[in-house]
Chains A and B, each alone.
Chain A
Amino acid sequence: GAVVSQHPSWVICKSGTSVKIECRSLDFQATTMFWYRQFPKQSLMLMATSNEGSKATYEQGVEKDKFLINHASLTLSTLTVTSAHPEDSSFYICSARRDQNQPQHFGDGTRLSIL
């Protein structure tokens, strides 16, 4: 159990376009979902935390107008990178958690490349 699906796994697009990434918990209800960014050979950097039906909480330095997060249901959260530019190219990973004190379960990530 505890499977998290992330889609797409890889996307290439032109500068200025918006990209939506989906994160789904397939076999459990996730009260909280998290979005991370990971640079090569570095650990995960938390971008934001979202609770179902509430506004996301963004980490310091993360532009909430650039990275729009929607947690519409207990099994789905989306991250939209608006007006993406080459510096937004990175590996984005989501995770989902049933409740506090439970482990986070991660998706397989989305490799975003902006040309």
Chain B
Amino acid sequence: EDQVTQSPEALRLQEGESSSLNCSYTVSGLRGLFWYRQDPGKGPEFLFTLYSAGEEKEKERLKATLTKKESFLHITAPKPEDSATYLCAVPSYYGGSQGNLIFGKGTKLSVKP
């Protein structure tokens, strides 16, 4: 069965303190790994798609990387506005699913000024 595990559950950083979020996955035949950001009371906002090991994507202070078993979301010199819950997801075709996203439980990031 396809699974996604994110760590840590919560992360508190000082403004400017760089760190990484982890997403490990077990899926038969990876067809993409997606990172989303979710603010309280809002739907998830799409950040990145990674398709193959070694691939990297960047957007402002965020960089996502992918290996055969896990993905990292690196946050460089974060600002308070980066505070949110970051979700990792993979599409599942297990049991006839139509690429339904299997989400991790998320990492709640808090950046203090």
Contact = CB atoms under 8 A, between A and B. Distances in A.
A34 B44 contact: no
A95 B100 contact: no
Interface string A32-74: 1010000000111010010100000100000000000000000
Which of B43, B46, B91, B100 gathers most chain A CB within 10 Å?
A: B43
A111 interface: yes
Interface in A58-115: 91, 93-95, 97, 100-101, 103-109, 111
Contacts of A32: 98-99
Contact of A106 (B32, B43, B106): B43
Contact of B98 (A2, A57, A107): A57
A25 interface: no
Interface residues of A, number: 27
A93 B42 CA distance: 9
A101 B101 CA distance: 11
B112 interface: no
Interface in B14-68: 31-32, 34, 36, 41-46, 49
B101 A46 contact: yes
Task: State the main secondary structure of chain A at its contact with B.
Answer: strand
B87 interface: yes
Which of B31, B45, B99, B104 gathers most chain A CB within 10 Å?
A: B99
Interface in B73-109: 87, 91, 97-101, 103-106
Given A6-B43, A43-B106, A49 B98 contact: yes
Instruction: List the 8 closest pairs (A to B, CB-CB), nearest first.
Output: A106-B43, A93-B43, A106-B44, A43-B103, A109-B43, A108-B43, A43-B105, A103-B46
Given A32-B98, A103-B32, A106-B45, 12 more contacts: A2-B46, A6-B43, A34-B101, A46-B100, A49-B97, A49-B98, A93-B43, A100-B91, A101-B31, A101-B99, A106-B36, A107-B43
Interface of A: 2, 4, 6, 32, 34, 42-44, 46, 49, 51, 57, 91, 93-95, 97, 100-101, 103-109, 111
